[in-house]
Amino acid sequence: MADEVVATSDVIDSLVAEAEDSTLELKVRDEVFELAPAIPAIVMLRLSAAGDPKTPPARQMTAIANFLEHAVIPDDRDRFNEFLEEADPIIDFEELNLILERATEIIAARPSEP
């Protein structure tokens, strides 16, 4: 049986505190957007439910757009939306999906309060 490495609670607390103190950013091309410190649980639930293949495409797209609207801080929101709409070259569905994946990865890795 292989030896298991378990982090002590003080190491875990230190990592959580460090992550909570850091600003999380989403870099897209040459633009950097600050991610929101919290996203409403209902937005995350709708995004998760949209992953079900039985969910109608219109509901999936609405959930994605709603998540992206909440993903960045209010001060960056207008600039983020403008960038998504007016980037040159345009942001196609493939790139938008990569942006969504990266934002959800960053947000999912963020420690949260119980």
The residues, ordered by sequence, that sit 6+ positions from 86 with a Cβ below 8 Å of its Cβ are: none
- pLDDT tens column, 89-112: 999 999 999 999 999 988 877 655
The range of the structural domain enclosing residue 40 comes to: 9-109
**Position 114 in a domain:** no
User: Would residue 36 be called left, alpha or beta, if left means φ above 0 and alpha means ψ between -120 and 50 degrees?
Assistant: beta
Percent of the chain with pLDDT strictly greater than 70: 75
**Position 52 in a domain:** yes
User: Would residue 29 be called left, alpha or beta, if left means φ above 0 and alpha means ψ between -120 and 50 degrees?
Assistant: left
- pLDDT tens column, 48-67: 999 888 989 999 999 999 99
Number of structural domains found in the chain:
1
Assign residue 92 the CATH number of its domain: 3.30.2220
pTM: 0.71
Check residue 114 and give its pLDDT.
43
- Give the Cα separation of 82 and 103 in Å (integer): 17
**Position 90 in a domain:** yes
**Position 1 in a domain:** no
- Give the Cα separation of 97 and 69 in Å (integer): 14
